[in-house]
Structure 1
Amino acid sequence: MIKVLIVDDDFMVAKVHAGFIQRTPGFAVLGVAHTGAQAVLETQRLQPDLVLLDIHLPDANGLDLMHRLREVAPDLDVLVISAAREVETVRKALRGGIVHYLIKPFSQADLQERLEHYLHAYHGLDSSKAEAEQSDVNRVFGLGTSERTLPKGCSVETLERVEETLKAASGDLSAAEVAEELGTSRVSARRYLEYLHDAGAVDVKLKYGVGRPERRYVLKGR
């Protein structure tokens, strides 16, 4: 479970972001801070894995604050969430070693996509093996995925999890079974499965019973 601290001066915005995170499998909100000083204290106390950090705080600039947060939590990762659009601000954030920069306002799907990339790229790199392959590094930096144009709201990271679920299965699976395995909705799982079917990666089998036949998915060649 990825432990998250939200740092935003707007109480309602922080609450909305917390709701987005709690609905993303693999993440849990540890706490919320509304000032730079509070963020330092909460980071030291809670030792989160990831901070969602706003730049404009009443007592600090978020980009300057990153260094203070890492002094009390050296392994901390930072995802900037801000209305700041200045190119130099984005460049400074990148030089500070952020994992992503998300411009407000954004949707739950926008944030979920970044969180899923962080979960599977950064944490997958930490735990998967002693030495990284180039493909592992490419995944961290978001390379090697341009050939897949996904429907709006879908992410490459979730698509990869769907494919892994199908590979691990002993036979065909329904959208409901894939959704249960991934912790997503059946509708979301079916979108990914139908995408794979349209791309020619999976076959569909129809299971007949009472009512409409159930669509079941299996990787080609299985």
Structure 2
Amino acid sequence: MIDVLVVDDDFMVARVNSGFVNQVDGFRVIGTASTGEQALERITELRPDLVLLDLYLPDLFGLEVITRMRAAGHDCDVIVISAARELDTVRRAARQGVTNYLLKPFDFDDLRIRLDRYAAQRAGLGTTVITSQADVDRLLSAGGPPRSAALPKGMSIETAELVKRALREAGDTLSATECANRVGISRVSARRYLEHLAAVGHVEVSLRYGGTGRPERRYRWRRA
């Protein structure tokens, strides 16, 4: 189980984000914090594996929290969740080794994909053996170990390959419904495979906004 600390100065946002995290298999929220100082106290007290960190806190800028956390010897991972879009902020976050950077506003699937990807990378890191310079180069260039190719329970390699082929041959984005029609499976099954492929980095996800209702999720094969 991956223990998560949620840091956000807005109580309702922290509550919503905590609910999102607790819906993802393998993750649980063990605490929340609304200020930078409180976040540092909770990190020392709770020792989370992962911190979901807002940058706009009332007492400290979020990146300062990371600096002080590292100086105190805490090695937990950080996913930034913020409305900050400034290039310099994103670059500074990357230099401080954040695992991911998610812009507000976002929906559950946006966060779930990143958590699933983090879990896959974390699991792979635990079994990675360095045997050559190539292994070192691959780890440093990718920001982590090679992503696990294992499929979640209930998925088949054969169907996954059909979904991959449909995306490659499409040459453009596909919705879950369009993919399902090409492969000959249900829309629910197609979406599950598509989201898994997105979580392990093989597929890019974009949103298409219509006149009403929720935006449609579109999937594109990520070319090497």
TM-score by length of 1: 0.64
Identical pairs, percent: 41
CA contact (8 A) 2:80 2:98 kept: yes
Matches of 1:143 and 1:85 in 2, distance apart? 28
CA contact (8 A) 1:80 1:102 kept: yes
Matches of 2:37 and 2:66 in 1, distance apart? 12
What are the Cα deviations for residues 90-120 of structure 1, in whole angstroms up to 9, with x where unaligned? Answer: 1111111100000000010000011111110
Q: What corresponds to 2:156 in structure 1?
A: 166
Q: CA offset at residue 21 of structure 1?
A: 0.2
Distance change (3 Å), C-alpha of 1:48 and 1:143: closer
- Structure 1 gaps of 5+ residues are 145-155, 168-185, 197-222
- Structure 2 gaps of 5+ residues are 158-185, 197-224
Q: What corresponds to 2:182 in structure 1?
A: none
CA contact (8 A) 1:40 1:72 kept: no
Q: What corresponds to 2:204 in structure 1?
A: none
Task: Name the count of aligned residue pairs.
Answer: 165
Q: How does 1:1-222 map to 2 (within 5 A)?
A: 1-121=1-121, 123-131=122-130, 133=135, 137=139, 140-141=142-143, 160-162=150-152, 166=156, 188-192=188-192
Give the RMSD, CA atoms, in angstroms: 3.3
TM-score by length of 2: 0.63
Matches of 1:127 and 1:104 in 2, distance apart? 31
CA contact (8 A) 1:53 1:78 kept: yes
Q: CA offset at residue 69 of structure 1?
A: 1.8
Distance change (3 Å), C-alpha of 1:64 and 1:194: closer
CA contact (8 A) 2:80 2:101 kept: yes
Matches of 1:58 and 1:109 in 2, distance apart? 28
